[in-house]
Structure 1
Amino acid sequence: MKRSLSNTALVKYIYCDDICLEADSVLLTLYAAKKYLVPHLARACVEYLETSITARNAFIDAQAELALSSEGFTEIDFSTLETILNRETLNAKEASIFHATLDWAKMECSRRNIEPTPDNQRKILGKAIFLLRIPTMTIEEFANGPAQSGLLSLQETTDIFLYYTARNKPILSFPTKKRLGLKVQICHRFQSSAYRNNQWRYRGRCDSIQFTVDRRIFIVGFGLYGSSNASADYKVKMELKKMGKVLAEDHTKFFSDGSSNTFRVYFQHPIQVEAETFYTASVVLDGNELSFFGQDGLNEVTVDKVTFNFHVSSDSTNGTNVHGGQIPELLFYGA
């Protein structure tokens, strides 16, 4: 979808001389503009990134892993790279941020017609390398990434290894505090849960609910009910659809401790959800048949200025609806 949006922006500019950019596709549009030698559109993409990314940019933050691995990331300019690396709310593993920065530095060497040696990459990055929070990686990520990249000096590599393992830790030039990322917000759609004589049963059927929101958000996962008898393990197939089209599907597991608490399951990547559009959240659970279920469901729920409206889904074959059943929570990032 994002690739088609970037191609649309390119074609629209070529034939209509009209620049129309969107936050969630601008990196791919930049890549396409560079690939097909459309310099004015490429400059417009860079300017768009410079102005929008300094403010709160939900796409860059919420879908950081996708943005960092996109084809357009290596085409951004140095000041935009610095701005991204400075972001406290960047929602990505530091190892992913490091490797994306390394890819950018290699591409910048190519643009400058110099050999992409570690020394040249380090010179190009300059002080921006110290925006990477390398010590917040796991020791395995560090050992298999930065420590072998050639980008760090022997002293820096030694000091970081000592930081992981020594009681008296050295003072580092790299930030040692993890990025905050984005706070997961929770939409609770039931006012209570039931159990004992009225247990919910899983028979490999689909529990599903349809919803709309009044502003853009990013769905990151669902909260689910577990066993009402005793502790149990569950396998989950989770899905998010937009007007019948599957946007994301993941298979995961969770452990239920036998309480009425909800248990969170997450998609691999956050999924962008647009305002005033019908989406369907679905799960198929495999595990202990008897579970808690929600009741006294709400048609409308507002969480931090985002209003959710819930509707019956025709995909639901296990009884879940607006008023009762499964999927008590939608987990999301605000935009």
Structure 2
Amino acid sequence: MAVDLPPSDWQVGKTLSESLDHLLTSGIGSDVTFIVGDDKTRFSAHKLVLFSRSPVFFAMFEGPMAEKGEITIPDISAETFKLFLRYLYTDRIHLTERNLVPVFNAARKYCVDILISSCQTFLTKNLRPENACSFLEQAHLFMAESLQEICVRFMIQNAAAVLQSVTFNDLCLDCLTSVTESDDLGVTETCVYEAIIRWAGAQCTRQNIEPTPDNKRKVLGKTVYTARYLHVEEDYLLGRICSDKVVPPEDIIDVINHNRNKNPSVPEKLNLRKRSVIPIKFHRNGYLASNSFLLGGQTHEADEALCFRSSVDVFLYGFGSIFSNKKGSVDFKILDGDNCLVEASKPMSEPHPDAPNIGDVMFDTPIKILAGKTYTLLEHSNNPVYHHFEKCALKITRQHISVEISCSPRSSLSSWKAHVAYLLLSG
């Protein structure tokens, strides 16, 4: 004869994680109590579950120095410990930007490797220029080195946007330095200098001191030399940097002597190394068409031109061009109105595997592009043009930079077409 089971709402028809979750929240059968955080919040738990998930808990409960009675955990908040315990019982956790680093710290303390990996994955997927500084500060506070490395790597790869973000000024000096000292920071030295000067002004405000040049220099300390003044444009050095009076005058004299008089002797604090800048590609993403320029049955020399304008000050390092002749070089001009900034013939790099007709054309020296000003990029062709771009995007946004592209009246083509596939820009 069948016997009816007593009614139950936490065992029958429940998954293992659901039943364990009920044990945790109800305290049924618990055999250990934790006193957690500044508020000394009490949590009941089950040793068997805990040491099955963590080698640290196993040593705590089953090792030769096993702890007895209530266990105090002062270095984890009650909110974080509650999330952590629930993960140990159920394998479920809701990570957010706010709780990520504290949870990571708990997982690291108790050697829960799977949760550590989950935190690292969450951080990698959710980093953005506007929150990277906050994540880095939290990771620094908890001495979470692996998370710091992820943040710094992201910030270096997205330096132009990060250095101009509002939260950049909230970094501590150590975190600031970890970013601005990098050889791989793909921005100009003027961008680095302006970022550390803004930070210094904000730091003076936080310390309730007047943001004078002397005070800015004091709060920056050696970090003022993470900007590499030997690679700053001389006009900017003698203009903006001299007027700010944060960099000592003797250092500016050393920079001028080195650059103008080829004096190799400079103090070690003035970093000679040039950063490796990787410009951002602003792809036009147009339709790749084929055509020939004919006039009276003969091929016709043609100037192909487009206008572009940036939303912020940037540097133009080069552009991507479609192969249009056999010699593998490009004749071009960069124009600011009627003023020719650059006129050159440059070799084109080998094409990219995913774009066999396109190669980079790099300048010897980057060209400063001022925000809101319209420039013209003109290519001269004396061969039939077999490929060109049509119906391209008129506005391209990458990170914090927006570039508007328009038809140039300098183009000799009846409709707007151009070889240019992308612009290579950096903040």
User: Equivalent of 2:164, from 69, 86, 102?
Assistant: 69
1:81 aligns with 2:176: yes
Distance 1:259 1:89 in 2: 39
Normalising by structure 1, what TM-score? 0.53
User: Equivalent of 1:25, from 121, 130, 155?
Assistant: 130
Unmatched segments (≥5 aa) in structure 2: 1-93, 99-125, 307-316, 326-330, 338-370, 389-393
Shift of 1:253: 0.2
Matches of residues 1-335 of structure 1 in structure 2 within 5 Å?
A: 18-19=96-97, 21-26=126-131, 43=138, 50-57=148-155, 60-61=158-159, 64=160, 66-172=161-267, 173-182=269-278, 194-196=292-294, 223=320, 251-259=374-382, 271-272=398-399, 283-290=406-413, 326=418, 329-331=421-423
Shift of 1:86: 1.7
Change (3 A) 1:268 1:249: farther
Any idea what SS the aligned residue of 2:218 has?
A: helix
CA RMSD of aligned residues (A): 5.4
Change (3 A) 1:103 1:17: same
Shift of 1:111: 1.5
Any idea what SS the aligned residue of 2:97 has?
A: coil
Normalising by structure 2, what TM-score? 0.43
Question: CA-to-partner distance for each residue in 1:86-144, whole Å, 9 max, x for gaps?
Answer: 22232322122112101111211222223323233222222222221012111111111
Distance 2:193 2:396 in 1: 19
Any idea what SS the aligned residue of 1:254 has?
A: strand
Change (3 A) 1:128 1:331: same
Letter in 2 for 1:60: N
8 Å Cα contact 1:95-1:137 kept in structure 2: yes
Shift of 1:182: 0.7
8 Å Cα contact 1:135-1:176 kept in structure 2: yes
Letter in 2 for 1:288: S
Any idea what SS the aligned residue of 1:253 has?
A: strand
Question: CA-to-partner distance for each residue in 1:270-298, whole Å, 9 max, x for gaps?
Answer: 6149xxxxxxx96423223338xxxxxxx
8 Å Cα contact 2:318-2:423 kept in structure 1: yes
Percent sequence identity over aligned pairs: 18
8 Å Cα contact 1:199-1:290 kept in structure 2: no
Distance 1:154 1:234 in 2: 36
Change (3 A) 1:282 1:332: same
Distance 2:243 2:334 in 1: 39
Distance 1:232 1:95 in 2: 25
Shift of 1:252: 2.4
Give the count of matched residue pairs: 241
Change (3 A) 1:69 1:94: same
Q: Which structure's CA Rg is the greater one?
A: 2
Q: Which has the higher contact order (CA 8 A, sep 6+)?
A: 1
